[in-house]
């Protein structure tokens, strides 16, 4: 519906465009670019090139010069041929979402993608950019695929959708811009903002922050066990590995002795976002000390443990708390 | 996961989107600039060439980090200085040459601003235009080939600009633009022949500084002999029938009726009385010669034709002295068809004004010559006898035909020539002869043009060179009208029968100033053949391509399609566009389609698709046995079928060479069969 207010009208158009785009290029973690997904339009230099063509044609007409005609037509046809070449530079390219690194608010999440070409033909000067994120220029000239990392600043706690990724190219002549907006369905997880608080019941804060890094010496070592996915890298018995043994993790006796609960109910009267921030803070502190900790949220309980996998689970639970229908 | 305190790493791995010009592109831009400048070198003042070299060196020093870009103020001063220098060099800024010089100096200075891709676009687009400007000066076949090369070079600059990862010069950059231009070529030809040719939309700057070439509109002794040093082609002629003998090929261009200040000149338009402006009606008689003349630009108006010529073409007039005359100066090559009747009687009655004009002599000068004429006239029975007697005089006295005549004094040149030096070129003989005719009371005038020409056996054209320039005489005899008389033929019959080269063979002066002209090596057979073949090609080129105009286009299209209608053009352009571009698109996209999967993988993906339709989606990277295990748990009814399929598939995939090709085929067929039958649910 056209509106009297041009700004409202414009934003309405944008909405319609987004909805149309969502139908045309639905979110997918792997997208191969084809004629349904690629847009092409003359670039700024392309329009100037058209002016140049007109100028040459006028020269040809006014001087009745057949070779000037020939150049005008050759360049005009070159312009048409350039559409095919520019289109072909994006066609057949496959983009695949790899990972989106979870981050804390205010940081930039790293989005890793893989680019794969369809055949042996080279693709040049592909520009990838997320709105508000970093952009990059790369070519697939002598390799079939490559991995790309792009960084996008994130917003608040929860899933951060970076929006649609712009893939564009001006190759070979710069007269056309060929582009697409793909939704790679790769949201990044944003943890709550850590916020220090008074001591929690059952957790001592005696260890001043910063001196707690030396975990290995602070507790009693009591043996090895086979490495399990999720074990902290600090636990890995690197010396043994260097000697050629299988990967092992060092076990410390103190893990079973301390076991703290990070409890939602421990902060009576504190607003819920702030509670999550405190819990997040303590999860980081305890993980750094190498002490076991569990998490209790309304409707969710994670048994005490320690290690990267556990920390990820805890932080993810905190990040997604309160968002209906989202699974950590 | 990333440790929070280590976050905020710089974005690694990818360079930011192109802010600078890749080095490879920079080198190609400079190369294309030099290539574009080369054809203009001889037209430009030397200082402009030096300015260009200086800017190129400057830019390369910036490239090496030994200099920096000039500041805004320096650039402004440079631009103003360039503008002023061009004004000083040319005297104005309006002609074509100063315009080109301005373009080229802008082209040179832009190099000093070449920082961002935007600047490169400006420079390269300007390059395309400069390539076109070159054609306004010449559309020679060699220049066209060369310009095609420069177009490839400029396009290479554009392509290299979009290959940001090529940081050093490479020749292979030429490939892509060459391929693209080759793909564009066929459609260009279609457009070239179909695009409607319309007249100029407005007047444009002309070549004000181009030298006038060919025979000029006045003649002093020594003028034509200097022209005879040039091996340039003046025009080419294609006869419809047999080529007449060389001794009959007198190409009339100018008629000099007035002797003024020791030089012959034509009558000016203002000097003609009203009745003499147009030619008297003539009834053509005798044999007809039909031919087409393809004339190269002369910057003059007169056209060349054989005696009593008519041309029916817009812009060509006939003059009262039976010549053809173009209404505009010939700045581009001009092709015109002529019909000539060489034996037609011209002007059986001479008007009194005409008689007085063609008899007029200055009051003084060359008195000895006039006396000699009167003495000979007294012995002759009639006018025709007088003509013969004067010719006999030239033949019998020891006159020498030479390209290197001595300088004559300006007061009585003919007295000096006839009685002292006796060495002269055609203009000396024509001058002396007409002077004597008029002194003896016979109306006469000097005619200038070309005589003879070289017959190219390859395509039967007559090539008329500048060294064929000639001057002869026309006398008016009662009952016979204007009659051509060539006094040079009396002195040197070889000049007319064999041409200038043979006539001056003894003195080695033929083309003495053009040591590299291929015409000098006519004795070497293959060189000569090559030269003639190239000339035939040039004729085809100039008459069919350069000379292609609205009329030719109409004729061509009429022949091809039977009718000339705009919708037909559009249909032809569209059809040929599709016909040309479809294969290009196919070629381009063929190499980009996803590669086909090996059959065993395709089969497994089909299996996964069938499972997905039943709600079990295989995770990316999930191993077939793990997936099968999950099916086992989530859809036990399909377990047996899935296990069978997975087992066969694993055998096919991982048994390697131990499996015979035959059993491999069997296994594959079995898998495909299982898929076709669909999942069997165990009950």
- Please provide the DSSP assignment of B225-246 as one string: HHHTT---EEEEEEESSPPPPG
B140 is catalytic: no
Q: Is residue B298 part of a domain?
A: yes
Which residues numbered 327-346 in B keep a CB inside 8 Å of some CB on A?
332
Closest Cβ opposite residue B162 in set A117, A170, A308: A170
The pLDDT score that the predictor gives to residue B580 is 85
> Which contiguous run of DSSP H or E holds residue B121?
helix B117-137
Residues A183 and A259 in one domain: no
Interface test with B, best of A43, A45, A86 (most B CBs within 10 A): A45
Closest Cβ opposite residue A149 in set B12, B165, B585: B12
Residues B489 and B607 in one domain: no
The answer to whether B142 and B88 have CB atoms below 8 angstroms apart is no
Q: A52 and B7: CB-CB below 8 Å? A: no
Closest Cβ opposite residue A62 in set B121, B202, B594: B202
Q: Is residue B209 part of a domain?
A: no
Q: Is residue B532 part of a domain?
A: no
The pLDDT score that the predictor gives to residue B472 is 94
Higher pLDDT, A74 or B315: A74
Residues B153 and B40 in one domain: yes
Check CB contact of A119 with chain B, cutoff 8 Å.
yes
Catalytic residue among B321, B415, B486, B535: B486
Q: How many CB pairs under 8 A join A and B?
A: 218
pTM above 0.80, yes or no: no
Residues A228 and A298 in one domain: yes
Q: Is residue B545 part of a domain?
A: no
Q: A70 and B188: CB-CB below 8 Å? A: yes
Residues A232 and A150 in one domain: no
Q: Which stretch, A25-34, A48-57, B190-199, B460-469, has highest mean pLDDT?
A: A48-57
Rounded to whole angstroms, the Cα distance separating B664 from A90 reads 38
Residue of B541, B462, B540, B461 lying closest to B143 (CA atoms): B541
Question: Binning pLDDT at 50, 70 and 90, where does residue A4 land?
Answer: low
Q: B16 and A136: CB-CB below 8 Å? A: yes
Closest Cβ opposite residue A67 in set B139, B163, B595: B139
Check CB contact of B619 with chain A, cutoff 8 Å.
no
The answer to whether B29 and B153 have CB atoms below 8 angstroms apart is no
Residues A110 and A250 in one domain: no
Q: Structurally, how many domains does chain B consist of?
A: 3
The answer to whether B79 and B109 have CB atoms below 8 angstroms apart is yes
Residue that is last in its domain, among A190, A213, A245: A190
The pLDDT score that the predictor gives to residue B681 is 61
Residue that is last in its domain, among B525, B552, B586: B525
Q: Is residue A85 part of a domain?
A: yes
Rounded to whole angstroms, the Cα distance separating B149 from B134 reads 13
CA–CA min distance B587, chain A (Å): 10
Rounded average pLDDT over A111-137: 86
Q: Structurally, how many domains does chain A consist of?
A: 2
Residues B165 and B78 in one domain: yes
The pLDDT score that the predictor gives to residue B125 is 95
Quick count: other Cβ atoms within 10 Å of Cβ B100? 21
Residue that is last in its domain, among B477, B502, B525: B525
B486 is catalytic: yes
Q: Which residues of A touch B14 (CB under 8 A)?
A: 128, 134-138, 148-150
Q: Residue B535: which residues within 8 A CB-CB, separation 6 or more?
A: B233, B236, B456, B458, B461, B463
Rounded average pLDDT over A159-163: 87
Residues A199-243: tens digit of each pLDDT: 766 564 444 343 333 344 445 555 666 676 666 777 777 777 777
User: What is the biggest distance separating any 2 CA atoms in chain A, rounded to whole angstroms?
Assistant: 97
Rounded to whole angstroms, the Cα distance separating B13 from A148 reads 7
Q: A173 and B162: CB-CB below 8 Å? A: yes
The first and second tokens of residue B180, run together, are: 């693209």
Interface test with B, best of A37, A48, A61, A188 (most B CBs within 10 A): A61
B426 is catalytic: yes
Check CB contact of A61 with chain B, cutoff 8 Å.
yes
Q: A78 and B184: CB-CB below 8 Å? A: yes
Residue of A172, A180, A170, A181 lying closest to A44 (CA atoms): A170
CA–CA min distance A126, chain B (Å): 9
Residues A32 and A179 in one domain: yes
> Which contiguous run of DSSP H or E holds residue B26?
helix B23-37
Rounded to whole angstroms, the Cα distance separating B646 from B627 reads 9
Q: Which residues of B touch A52 (CB under 8 A)?
A: 125, 128-129
Residues B146 and B293 in one domain: no
Residues A242-287: tens digit of each pLDDT: 777 777 776 654 444 456 788 888 887 888 888 888 889 888 888 8
Q: B158 and A78: CB-CB below 8 Å? A: no
Rounded to whole angstroms, the Cα distance separating B383 from B396 reads 20
Q: Which residues of A touch B99 (CB under 8 A)?
A: none
Q: Is residue A69 part of a domain?
A: yes
Q: B16 and A137: CB-CB below 8 Å? A: yes
Q: Is residue B195 part of a domain?
A: no
Check CB contact of B193 with chain A, cutoff 8 Å.
no
Query: In this predicted structure, which of A6-10, A155-159, B127-131 has the lowest mean pLDDT?
Result: A6-10
CA–CA min distance B616, chain A (Å): 18
Rounded average pLDDT over A137-149: 86
Q: Is residue A239 part of a domain?
A: yes
Instruction: State what percent of residues in chain A have pLDDT above 90.
Output: 21
Residues A180 and A232 in one domain: no
Residues A109 and A161 in one domain: yes
The pLDDT score that the predictor gives to residue B336 is 92
Q: Is residue A210 part of a domain?
A: no
Check CB contact of B360 with chain A, cutoff 8 Å.
no
Q: B151 and A74: CB-CB below 8 Å? A: yes
The pLDDT score that the predictor gives to residue A202 is 57
Residues A127 and A232 in one domain: no
Mean pLDDT in runs of 10 for chain B (683 residues)? 32 47 87 90 85 86 83 87 87 81 87 86 93 89 94 95 83 92 93 86 69 76 74 90 91 91 85 80 88 89 91 87 89 88 88 90 88 91 92 90 82 88 88 93 93 89 90 92 91 79 73 69 80 89 85 84 79 87 85 67 83 81 85 83 86 77 84 79 55
Task: Map B274-295 to HEC letters.
Answer: HHHCCCCCCCCCCCCEEEEEEE
Q: B191 and A121: CB-CB below 8 Å? A: no
CA–CA min distance A117, chain B (Å): 7
Q: A74 and B593: CB-CB below 8 Å? A: no
The pLDDT score that the predictor gives to residue B597 is 67
The pLDDT score that the predictor gives to residue A177 is 94
Rounded to whole angstroms, the Cα distance separating B508 from B505 reads 6
Which residues numbered 286-325 in A keep a CB inside 8 Å of some CB on B?
308, 311-312
Residue that is last in its domain, among B473, B505, B525: B525
Structural domain including B316 reads: 218-363+442-525
Residues B232 and B304 in one domain: yes
Catalytic residue among B40, B426, B465, B535: B426
Give burial (CB, 10 Å; 0-12/13-18/19+) of A173.
buried
Beta bridge partners of B445: B474
- CA A288 from centroid of its chain's CA atoms: 26
Which residues numbered 65-94 in A keep a CB inside 8 Å of some CB on B?
65-78, 80-82, 84-85, 88, 91-92, 94
3-class SS shares of chain B: helix, strand, coil, % to 5: 55, 10, 35
Q: Which residues of B touch A38 (CB under 8 A)?
A: none
Q: Is residue B13 part of a domain?
A: no
Q: A62 and B165: CB-CB below 8 Å? A: no
Q: Is residue B186 part of a domain?
A: no
Rounded average pLDDT over A138-164: 87
Q: Is residue B604 part of a domain?
A: yes
ipTM for the predicted complex comes to: 0.78
Q: B180 and A62: CB-CB below 8 Å? A: no
CA–CA min distance B564, chain A (Å): 20
Q: Is residue A201 part of a domain?
A: no
The pLDDT score that the predictor gives to residue B188 is 93
The pLDDT score that the predictor gives to residue B208 is 61
Residue that is last in its domain, among A141, A170, A190: A190
Residue that is last in its domain, among A135, A168, A190: A190
Q: B7 and A70: CB-CB below 8 Å? A: no
The answer to whether A317 and A300 have CB atoms below 8 angstroms apart is yes
The answer to whether A186 and A97 have CB atoms below 8 angstroms apart is yes
Q: B9 and A110: CB-CB below 8 Å? A: yes
Rounded to whole angstroms, the Cα distance separating A295 from B83 reads 80
Structural domain including A259 reads: 221-320
Q: Is residue A199 part of a domain?
A: no
Q: Which residues of B touch A40 (CB under 8 A)?
A: none
């Amino acid at each position: 519906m056209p509106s009297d207010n041009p700004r409202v009208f414009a934003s309405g158009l944008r909405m319609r465009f987004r909805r149309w785009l969502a139908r045309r290029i639905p979110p997918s973690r792997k997208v191969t670019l084809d004629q349904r997904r690629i847009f092409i339009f003359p670039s700024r230099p392309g329009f100037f090139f058209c002016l140049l063509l007109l100028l040459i044609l006028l020269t040809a007409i006014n001087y009745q010069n057949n070779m000037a005609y020939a150049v005008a037509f050759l360049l005009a046809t070159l312009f048409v041929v350039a559409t095919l070449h520019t289109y072909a530079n994006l066609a057949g390219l496959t983009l695949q979402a790899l990972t989106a690194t979870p981050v804390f608010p205010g940081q930039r999440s790293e989005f890793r993608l893989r680019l794969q070409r369809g055949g042996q033909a080279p693709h040049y000067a592909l520009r990838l950019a997320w709105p508000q994120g970093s952009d990059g220029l790369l070519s697939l000239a002598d390799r079939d695929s490559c991995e790309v990392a792009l960084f996008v600043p994130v917003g608040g706690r929860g899933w951060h959708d970076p929006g649609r990724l712009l893939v564009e190219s001006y190759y070979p002549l710069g007269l056309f811009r060929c582009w697409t907006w793909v939704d790679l369905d790769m949201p990044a997880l944003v943890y709550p903002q850590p916020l220090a608080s008074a001591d929690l019941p059952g957790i001592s804060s005696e260890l001043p922050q910063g001196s707690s890094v030396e975990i290995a010496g602070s507790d009693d070592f009591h043996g090895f066990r086979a490495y399990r996915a999720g074990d902290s890298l600090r636990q890995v018995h690197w010396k043994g590995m260097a000697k050629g043994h299988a990967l092992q993790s060092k076990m410390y006796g103190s893990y079973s002795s301390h076991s703290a609960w990070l409890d939602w109910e421990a902060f009576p009267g504190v607003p819920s976002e702030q509670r999550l921030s405190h819990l997040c803070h303590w999860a980081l502190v305890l993980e750094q000390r190498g002490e076991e900790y569990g998490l209790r949220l309304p409707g969710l309980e994670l048994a005490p443990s320690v290690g990267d996998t556990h920390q990820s689970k805890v932080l993810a639970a905190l990040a997604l708390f309160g968002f209906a229908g989202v699974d950590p | 996961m990333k440790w929070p305190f280590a976050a905020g790493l710089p974005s690694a791995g990818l360079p930011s989107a192109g802010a600078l010009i890749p080095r490879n592109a920079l080198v190609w831009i400079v190369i294309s600039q030099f290539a574009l400048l080369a054809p203009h070198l001889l037209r430009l003042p030397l200082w402009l060439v030096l300015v260009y070299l200086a800017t190129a060196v400057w830019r390369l020093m910036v490239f090496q980090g030994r200099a920096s870009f000039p500041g805004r103020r320096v650039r402004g001063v440079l631009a103003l200085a360039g503008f002023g220098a061009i004004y000083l060099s040319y005297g104005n800024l309006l002609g074509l040459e100063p315009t080109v010089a301005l373009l080229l100096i802008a082209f040179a200075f832009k190099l000093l601003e070449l920082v961002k891709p935007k600047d490169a676009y400006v420079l390269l687009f300007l390059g395309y235009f400069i390539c076109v400007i070159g054609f306004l000066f010449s559309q020679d076949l060699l220049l066209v080939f060369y310009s095609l090369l420069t177009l490839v070079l400029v396009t290479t600059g554009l392509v290299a600009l979009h290959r940001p990862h090529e940081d050093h010069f490479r020749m292979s950059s030429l490939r892509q633009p060459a391929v693209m231009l080759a793909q564009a070529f066929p459609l260009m030809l279609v457009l070239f022949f179909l695009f409607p040719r319309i007249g100029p939309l407005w007047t444009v700057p002309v070549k004000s500084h181009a030298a006038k070439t060919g025979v000029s509109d006045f003649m002093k002794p020594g003028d034509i002999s200097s022209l005879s040093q040039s091996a340039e082609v003046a025009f080419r002629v294609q006869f419809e029938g047999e080529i007449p003998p060389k001794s009959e090929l007198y190409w009339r261009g100018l008629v000099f009726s007035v002797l003024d200040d020791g030089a012959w000149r034509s009558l000016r338009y203002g000097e003609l009385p009203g009745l003499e402006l147009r030619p008297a009606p003539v009834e053509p008689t005798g044999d007809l010669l039909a031919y087409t003349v393809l004339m190269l630009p002369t910057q003059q108006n007169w056209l060349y034709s054989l005696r009593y010529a008519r041309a029916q073409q817009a812009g060509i007039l006939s003059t009262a002295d039976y010549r053809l005359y173009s209404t505009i100066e010939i700045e581009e090559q001009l092709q015109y068809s002529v019909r000539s009747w060489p034996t037609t009687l011209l002007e059986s009655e001479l008007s009194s004004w005409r008689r007085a004009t063609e008899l007029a002599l200055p009051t003084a000068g060359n008195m000895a010559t006039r006396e000699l004429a009167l003495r000979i006239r007294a012995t002759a029975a009639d006018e025709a006898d007088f003509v013969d007697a004067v010719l006999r005089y030239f033949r019998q006295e020891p006159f020498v035909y030479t390209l290197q005549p001595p300088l004559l004094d300006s007061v009585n040149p003919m007295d000096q020539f006839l009685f002292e030096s006796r060495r002269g070129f055609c203009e000396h003989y024509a001058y002396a002869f007409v002077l004597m005719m008029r002194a003896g009371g016979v109306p006469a005038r000097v005619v200038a043009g070309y005589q003879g020409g070289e017959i190219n056996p390859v395509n039967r054209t007559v090539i008329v060179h500048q060294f064929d320039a000639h001057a002869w005489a026309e006398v008016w005899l009662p009952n016979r009208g204007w009659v051509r008389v060539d006094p040079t033929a009396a002195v040197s019959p070889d000049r007319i029968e064999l041409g200038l080269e043979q006539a001056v063979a003894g003195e080695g002066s033929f083309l003495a100033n053009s040591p590299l002209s291929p015409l000098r090596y006519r004795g070497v057979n293959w060189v000569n053949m090559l030269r003639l073949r190239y000339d035939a090609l040039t004729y085809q080129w100039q008459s069919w391509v350069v000379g292609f105009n609205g009329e030719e286009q109409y004729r061509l299209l009429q022949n091809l399609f039977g009718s000339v209608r705009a919708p037909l053009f559009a249909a032809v352009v569209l059809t040929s566009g599709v016909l040309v571009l479809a294969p290009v698109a196919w070629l381009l996209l063929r190499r980009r389609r996803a590669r086909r999967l090996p059959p065993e993988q395709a089969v497994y993906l089909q299996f996964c698709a069938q499972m997905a339709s039943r709600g079990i989606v295989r995770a990316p990277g999930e191993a077939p046995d793990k997936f099968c295990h999950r099916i086992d748990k989530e859809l036990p009814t399909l377990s047996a079928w899935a296990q069978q399929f997975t087992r066969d598939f694993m055998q096919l995939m991982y048994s390697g060479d131990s499996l015979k090709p035959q059993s491999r085929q069997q296994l594959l067929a079995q898998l495909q069969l299982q898929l076709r039958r669909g999942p069997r649910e165990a009950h």
